Amino acid sequence: MARMTMIEAIRSALDVSMGRDDDVVVFGEDVGYFGGVFRCTQGLQQKYGKTRCFDVPINESGIVGTAIGMAAYGLKPCVEIQFADYMYPAYDQITQEAARLRYRSNGDFTCPITIRMPTGGGIFGGQTHSQSPEALFTHVCGLQVVVPSNPYDAKGLLISSIENPDPVIFLEPKRLYNGPFDGHHDRPVTSWGSHPLGEVPVEHYTVPLGKAVVRRPGSAVTVLAYGTMVHVAEATAEETGIDAEVIDLRTLLPLDLETIVASVKKTGRCMVVHEATMTSGFGAELVALVQEHCFYHLEAPVIRVAGWDTPYPHAQEWDYFPGPARVGQALRDMMEA
């Protein structure tokens, strides 16, 4: 075991995967010599050579398109899009090609690629360094969508993703790269140094895809969250004294419906929180599933706390980000309902 930040855990996952399997290749913009703008690939080129970890031209469609070709050949590329906000030029390759290769060729060709993308806000990233586009991937059949919330999961989920025989969108909340963040932007930044999930095995291990985990057991209300919002939800439960059960979904597609339904049937209430904009966000899918599967157990309407339906602003960062104040108010309102 070692203390790791999420960055170090991701780097360790890549290191372990590249060490175990010669077919794993890592590339993206500034990923090679420099080691990535967030340092997630630091030292990999030096250790594994330029043909296993390399820099690419600035072309997201080229990154994903070549990765698909490599996967068709038999490699297992793990590529990086520098910011999730810049995945759009690759959207055609991701949705129409990577996601459908197995289906349309009846397994003649498959696409075991992992696409890493730093995601989410809370860092004064403005409109194109803060987006949470997960709903644009969960709507695509053939993809798997993963969002870790801590270093331990980040490494285990990333290794699982790389070893997965199908394409995985791996969204890394960059606000959590160096430490947990509960939304209290006015307090000093904390590090992973003292967090239990900052303790990470140095060797190979996996966290299974498609499995959620209960982060905080509770009886009053179920809060469905992922990424940064897991920490916001946990902190809010403590601060409000409302005994919320916080579920970290970890994988959005395929979704661990069983864990969700068991919890909501127990608590009778459910709240969904995500950074992404509200309308047609992933929360809408969660709400629909909960009402379908837990209708007779619900004591209150299922509600969502999410980013506003606006582009992610700069100066109004903390008015936009669904922090503890908004989540707390929503929890109190819900308990009174």
Q: Which residues bind another protein (CB under 8 A)?
A: 25, 51-52, 56-57, 59, 61-62, 65-70, 72-75, 89, 92-93, 96-97, 100-110, 141-142, 144, 165-166, 210, 253-255, 257-258
Residue with the two structure tokens 């905080």: 216
Q: 199 vs 285, which CB is nearer to another protein?
A: 285
Q: In angstroms, what is the minimal distance from the CB of 61 to another protein?
A: 5
Q: 244 vs 252, which CB is nearer to another protein?
A: 252
SS3 state at 115: strand
Q: 256 vs 317, which CB is nearer to another protein?
A: 256
Q: In angstroms, what is the minimal distance from the CB of 288 to another protein?
A: 12
Q: 104 vs 314, which CB is nearer to another protein?
A: 104
Please say whether the beta carbons of 65 and 53 come within 8 A: no
Q: 43 vs 208, which CB is nearer to another protein?
A: 208
189 Cβ contact list (under 8 Å, min separation 6): 178, 179, 181
Cβ-count burial 161-173 (b if 16+ within 10 Å, e if not) = bbbbebbbbbbbb
Q: Is the bond into 254 cis (omega within 30 degrees of 0)?
A: yes
Q: In angstroms, what is the minimal distance from the CB of 107 to another protein?
A: 6
Residue with the two structure tokens 């009053």: 220
Q: In angstroms, what is the minimal distance from the CB of 71 to another protein?
A: 8
Separation of alpha carbons 320 and 304, rounded Å: 14
Question: Where are any strands of DSSP class E within the chain?
Answer: 2-3, 24-28, 53-55, 76-80, 114-119, 144-146, 168-173, 199-200, 213-216, 221-225, 244-248, 251-253, 270-277, 303-307
Q: In angstroms, what is the minimal distance from the CB of 290 to another protein?
A: 14
Residues annotated as catalytic (active site), given as ranges: 129
* CA atoms within 13 A of residue 293's CA, in its CB half-sphere: 18
Q: At what angle do helices 282-294 and 257-267 cross, to 10 degrees?
A: 60
Please say whether the beta carbons of 134 and 171 come within 8 A: yes
Q: In angstroms, what is the minimal distance from the CB of 16 to another protein?
A: 20
Amino acid at the residue 23: D
Q: 111 vs 327, which CB is nearer to another protein?
A: 111
SS3 state at 263: helix
Separation of alpha carbons 121 and 102, rounded Å: 34
- Beta bridge pairs of residue 25: 77
Q: 3 vs 100, which CB is nearer to another protein?
A: 100
Q: In angstroms, what is the minimal distance from the CB of 54 to another protein?
A: 8
